[in-house]
Amino acid sequence: MVVRVSFMFSLDARRRILVTGGSGFLGSYLSEMLLKAGHEVLCLDNFFTGARMNVEHLLDHKRFELLRHDVCQPLFVEVDEIYNLACPASPVHYQFDPVQTTKTSVLGAINMLGLAKRLRAKILQASTSEVYGDPQIHPQPEEYWGNVNPIGVRSCYDEGKRCAETLFYDYHRQNNVNIRMMRIFNTYGPRMHPNDGRVVSNFIMQALSNKPITLYGDGLQTRSFCYRDDLVDGMMKLMNATDDISMPINIGNPREFTIKQLAELVLELTGSKSQIIREPLPQDDPLQRKPDIERARDFLGWSPTTEIHEGLIKTIAYFEELMSSPKPLQPT
Ligand code: NAD
Ligand code: UDP
Ligand code: UDP
C-alpha cells in the first residue's frame, strides 16, 4: 500500500492516480493539475508522441513518479484512479503506425480495465469526437452513434477508440468497473507538439516562421476548438463528480469556426505576412464538428470559459518561446 503522509491535505482526499499518456500535451497538464490538487501522480508514457520536456518541471516533485511503459503490456501497480490518455491524437501521428494505434487503444483499454477491475479503481477514458466520424447530425449529442468509415486511413484511431468504449461499457456491465467516458473535441494550447500536424500547431508554427499557411480543401470544413485548461478542468470534474456518471460526456467548446477563419485569426494574432495556400483535403476529413455540451452543463456544471483569441494568444506565446529556446524542438 501507498504510504500517505501530509500535514496540508486530508489523508482521505489524497489519491494515488495513474495518468497514461502522461507526458503528452493533455496528460502533462493534467498531471500538473492533479499534483496541485494534492494527489500522488504516477505518470506513464512510452514517449511515442509525448516529450520528457513536458514533465521535466515535475520530476523533482515528491508526489510525482515517471514510468516508461507501453499500455499494450500488462501493468501491475497500486493506484486509486486511472486516467487513460495513452494514444497518439494527431492524424499524422496516429497514421504513422496505424496497427500500433489500434493496439494502443484496444490492448491499452483491456490492460487498464483489468488493472481497474483488480484494484476496484475508478477509470476515465479519453475518448474522442472522432467516434462520431463525419457526422450527419450537427451539433453532435452523445446519443448519436456516428458515421465512421471502418476501413479508411482514420479508422485505426476512430475504430480503436470506439472499441475501447465498447470494452469500457462491457467491463462496467460485466465486472462493475466504475467508468467515466469523456468524448474530447479538438483541443489546443501550450505543450502541443510543434510538428504534430494538427491544425492549430501547424498554422501557428507556419505563421511564426513566415512559411505558407497550408489550408486543406476549401477551408470551409468546421471544427470547434477548446482551450487546454478548460478541457482538463472538465476532465477532473467528470472524474470527481459525486454522481455515478458512467454515460459518455462530450467536453469541448461549442463555438464553431471554419478552418479558413482559423487561418485568418492566426495571421491576425501573429501579425504574420504568410500567404494562405491550398492543399488537398485528406481522405475522410470530417466536414463539420461541434459538440452538444448540455450533458456536461447539467451533470458537471461545466462549460468552457476561454475565448479563442485568449487561448490562441497564450498558445502563440508558447510556440514563440519554444522557437527561441536553445533546446531542440522535439526532446524526448
Ligand atoms: P499526445 O499525442 O500529446 O499525447 C498522447 C500520449 O500518449 C503521448 O505522450 C504518447 O507518447 C503516449 N502514448 C502513445 N501510445 C502509447 C502507448 N502505447 N503506451 C503508453 N503511452 C503511449 O495527445 P493529446 O492531445 O495529449 O491526447 C491525449 C488523449 O486525448 C489521447 O487519448 C487522445 O486520443 C485524446 N484526445 C485528444 C484530443 C485533442 O484535441 N488533443 C481530441 C480528442 C481526444
Ligand atoms: N491486467 C493488468 N494489471 C492488473 C490486472 C490485469 O495489466 O493488475 C491485465 C491482464 O494482463 C489482462 C487484462 O488486464 O490481460 C485484462 O484483465 P482481466 O482480469 O479482465 O482479464 P483476464 O486476466 O481474465 O484475461
Ligand atoms: N487542416 C488544415 N491544414 C493543416 C492541418 C489541418 O487545413 O495544416 C485541417 C484538416 O484538414 C481538418 C482540420 O484542419 O479539416 C482539423 O485538423 P486536425 O488534424 O487538427 O484535427 P482533426 O481533423 O482530427 O479534427
CA 74 – ligand 2 centroid, Å? 7
pLDDT band at 180 (very low <50, low <70, confident <90, very high): very high
Tell me the one-letter amino acid at 217: G
Distance in angstroms (rounded) separating the CA atoms of residues 43 and 65: 6
Q: Which residues have CB under 8 Å from 174's CB, separation 6+?
A: none
pLDDT in tens, 49-88: 999 999 999 999 999 999 999 999 999 999 999 999 999 9
pLDDT band at 6 (very low <50, low <70, confident <90, very high): very low
Burial 221-235 (b: 16+ CB within 10 A, else e): bbbbbbbbbbbbbbb
Residue 7 predicted with pLDDT over 70: no
The set of catalytic residues is: 157
Residues above pLDDT 90, as percent of the chain: 92
Q: What cell numbers appear for 290 in the block? A: 461541434
Does the Cβ of 239 fall within 6 Å of ligand 1?
no
101 CA: nearest ligand 1 atom: 15
Q: Give mean pLDDT, residues 192-197.
A: 92
Residue 118 predicted with pLDDT over 80: yes
* φ, ψ dihedrals at 318, nearest 5°: -65, -45
pLDDT band at 294 (very low <50, low <70, confident <90, very high): very high
Residue 293 predicted with pLDDT over 80: yes
Which stretches does DSSP call E strand in the chain?
A: 16-20, 40-45, 64-68, 81-84, 122-128, 179-184, 187-188, 213-216, 222-224, 226-227, 248-251, 256-258, 276-279
Q: Which residues have CB under 8 Å from 275's CB, separation 6+?
A: 212, 213
CA 198 – ligand 3 centroid, Å? 6
3-state SS string for 148-172? CCCCCCCHHHHHHHHHHHHHHHHHH
Residue 328: predicted pLDDT? 55
At 26, which helix (H) or strand (E)? helix 25-36
Does the Cβ of 17 fall within 6 Å of ligand 2?
no
Does the Cβ of 153 fall within 6 Å of ligand 3?
no
CA 199 – ligand 1 centroid, Å? 16
Distance in angstroms (rounded) separating the CA atoms of residues 215 and 265: 13
193 CA: nearest ligand 1 atom: 3
pLDDT band at 4 (very low <50, low <70, confident <90, very high): very low
> What residue owns the CA closest to ligand 2's atom 22?
114
pLDDT band at 3 (very low <50, low <70, confident <90, very high): very low
CATH class of 16-189+227-254+286-305: alpha beta
CA 94 – ligand 1 centroid, Å? 9
Find where cell 482538463 sits: 232
DSSP 147: B
Residue 28 predicted with pLDDT over 80: yes
Nearest residue to 42 (alpha-carbon basis) of 107, 119, 132, 104:
119
Distance in angstroms (rounded) separating the CA atoms of residues 45 and 42: 10
Residue 331 predicted with pLDDT over 50: no
Residue 332: predicted pLDDT? 37
Residue 214: predicted pLDDT? 98
Residues in the chain: 332
pLDDT band at 285 (very low <50, low <70, confident <90, very high): very high
Ligand nearest to the CA of 221: 3
Does the Cβ of 117 fall within 6 Å of ligand 2?
yes
> What residue owns the CA closest to ligand 1's atom 28?
85
DSSP 274: P
Residue 15 predicted with pLDDT over 60: yes
Distance in angstroms (rounded) separating the CA atoms of residues 101 and 99: 5
Residue 251 predicted with pLDDT over 70: yes
Does the Cβ of 54 fall within 6 Å of ligand 1?
no
Q: What cell numbers appear for 209 in the block? A: 516562421
> What residue owns the CA closest to ligand 3's atom 11?
216
Ligand nearest to the CA of 111: 2
pLDDT in tens, 122-173: 999 999 999 999 999 999 999 999 999 999 999 999 999 999 999 999 999 9
Residue 8: predicted pLDDT? 46
Residue 329: predicted pLDDT? 53
Residue 266: predicted pLDDT? 98
DSSP 53: G
Domains in the chain: boundaries: 16-189+227-254+286-305
Does the Cβ of 107 fall within 6 Å of ligand 2?
no
- Collapse the DSSP code of 320 into the 3-class scheme (helix H, G, I; strand E, B; otherwise coil) and give the result: helix
Distance in angstroms (rounded) separating the CA atoms of residues 60 and 184: 30
23 CA: nearest ligand 1 atom: 9
Burial 250-289 (b: 16+ CB within 10 A, else e): bbbbbebbbbbebbbebbebbebebebeeeeeeeeebebb
Does the Cβ of 69 fall within 6 Å of ligand 2?
no
Residue 243: predicted pLDDT? 79
CA 163 – ligand 2 centroid, Å? 17
pLDDT band at 242 (very low <50, low <70, confident <90, very high): confident
Q: How many CB atoms lie within 10 A of CB 241?
A: 15
Distance in angstroms (rounded) separating the CA atoms of residues 49 and 67: 15
Mutate which of 85, 157, 289, 330 for ligand 1 pocket (most atoms within 8 A of beta carbon):
85
- Collapse the DSSP code of 213 into the 3-class scheme (helix H, G, I; strand E, B; otherwise coil) and give the result: strand
Q: What cell numbers appear for 188 in the block? A: 489546443
Contact status, residue 134 vs residue 287, Cβ threshold 8 Å: yes
Distance in angstroms (rounded) separating the CA atoms of residues 126 and 86: 8
Whole-angstrom distance between the N-terminal and C-terminal Cα of the chain? 31
Residue 254 predicted with pLDDT over 50: yes
Does the Cβ of 115 fall within 6 Å of ligand 2?
yes
